[in-house]
């Protein structure tokens, strides 16, 4: 029994160091969070209706080379009320996708949520995050903002795990909370919600309404913008098991503010 426990501890420590992730944990509470029942009202949303991206809300972000891929509008589709962000092989290139609200909708504080179906394979990953335009200009997150990773799904960590993170002070002294892993059985199948409550003094991360982490580090007090992206690894060995095409499907994005 002692040998089994020691092995588990070693594996958890290895994951924490090698992947920069904390060991996966279950929800902190069995109660489900609902924004409308907690003093919030809907302030902004996109249900992805129509047949094209609403450019009053989003733009394809960072077109060009990114890691092993190339961000391209070709990999962004709207159909039947869903946004699909894909990773596609096209000849010798891999097209990936990202959209952001920079210059269109920037805000601070509130509850931010998306409902989405995650990608299927490792080597690429779905992400929903909030970013600062000032993050590389200084080291105080209150003044210069932070990267708030509401959700990232790295299949190499396990099929029923999603990660959350906060980074700030881009540059030689960059800091991070390190990946916070949330375990939810079945999260790799079907649609699920991923959210964060952003306060002037803390972040609270949710999956399907369940609270997983509360963080008081790297707190941004400036307006930032949202990003949805299908990312790809930077080394070829990491995409050996990737199945192309792969996709990340988003049903909606909503932002709630306190009444």
> How much is the pLDDT for 91?
93
For 56, 66, 131, the CA distances from 91, given in Å and listed in that order, are: 33, 17, 32
pLDDT over 70 percentage in the chain = 92
For residue 251, being part of any structural domain is answered with: yes
> How much is the pLDDT for 108?
98
The total number of structural domains in the chain stands at 1
Q: pLDDT tens digits for 100-150?
A: 999 999 999 999 999 999 999 999 999 999 999 999 999 999 999 999 999
Q: Mean of the pLDDT values across residues 70-89?
A: 98
Task: Find residue 90's DSSP bridge partners.
Answer: 93
Output the six-digit token pair for 28.
């902190």
For residue 67, being part of any structural domain is answered with: yes
Distance CA 214, CA 234 (A): 30
For residue 148, being part of any structural domain is answered with: yes
Q: Are 48 and 82 in contact (CB under 8 A)?
A: yes
Q: Mean of the pLDDT values across residues 233-258?
A: 97
**CATH number, position 124:** 2.60.120.200
- Asked if the model's pLDDT at residue 21 lies above 80, the reply is no
Q: pLDDT tens digits for 26-44?
A: 999 899 999 999 999 999 9
For residue 164, being part of any structural domain is answered with: yes
Q: Mean of the pLDDT values across residues 215-233?
A: 98
φ and ψ at residue 31, rounded to 5 degrees: -80, 140
Range in 19-23, 78-82, 248-252 the model is least confident about:
19-23
Output the six-digit token pair for 86.
């894909």
> How much is the pLDDT for 22?
75
Nearest 10 degrees: Cα torsion 19, 25, 31, 34: 0
Q: In the block, which residue shows the tokens 């179906």?
A: 117
Task: Tell me which residue range forms the domain holding 41.
Answer: 27-258
pTM exceeding 0.85: yes
Q: Mean of the pLDDT values across residues 235-247?
A: 97
For residue 7, being part of any structural domain is answered with: no
For 3, 10, 23, 178, the CA distances from 17, given in Å and listed in that order, are: 21, 11, 10, 10
For residue 10, being part of any structural domain is answered with: no
For residue 172, being part of any structural domain is answered with: yes
Pairing of strands 175-176, 180-183: unpaired
For residue 202, being part of any structural domain is answered with: yes
């Amino acid at each position: 029994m002692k040998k089994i426990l020691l092995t588990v501890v070693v594996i958890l420590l290895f994951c924490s160091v090698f992947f920069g992730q904390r060991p996966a944990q279950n929800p902190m509470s069995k109660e489900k969070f609902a924004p409308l029942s907690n003093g919030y009202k809907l302030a902004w949303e996109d249900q992805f209706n129509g047949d094209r991206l609403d450019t009053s809300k989003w733009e394809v972000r960072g077109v060009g080379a990114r890691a092993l891929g190339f961000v391209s509008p070709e990999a962004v589709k709207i159909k039947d009320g869903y946004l699909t962000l894909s990773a596609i092989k096209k000849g010798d290139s891999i097209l990936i996708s990202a959209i952001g609200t920079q210059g269109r909708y920037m805000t601070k504080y509130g509850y931010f949520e998306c409902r989405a179906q995650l990608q299927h394979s490792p080597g690429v990953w779905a992400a929903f995050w909030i970013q600062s335009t000032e993050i590389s200009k200084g080291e105080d997150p209150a003044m210069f903002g932070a990267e708030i990773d509401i959700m990232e799904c790295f299949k190499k960590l396990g099929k029923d795990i999603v990660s959350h993170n906060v980074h700030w002070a881009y540059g030689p002294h960059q800091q991070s909370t390190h990946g916070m892993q949330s375990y939810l059985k079945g999260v790799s199948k079907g649609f699920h919600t991923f959210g964060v409550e952003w306060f002037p003094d803390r972040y609270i991360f949710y999956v399907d309404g369940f609270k997983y982490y509360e963080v008081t580090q790297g707190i941004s007090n400036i307006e930032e913008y949202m990003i949805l992206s299908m990312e790809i690894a930077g080394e070829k060995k990491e995409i050996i098991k990737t199945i192309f095409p792969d996709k990340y499907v988003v049903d909606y994005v909503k932002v709630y503010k306190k009444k």
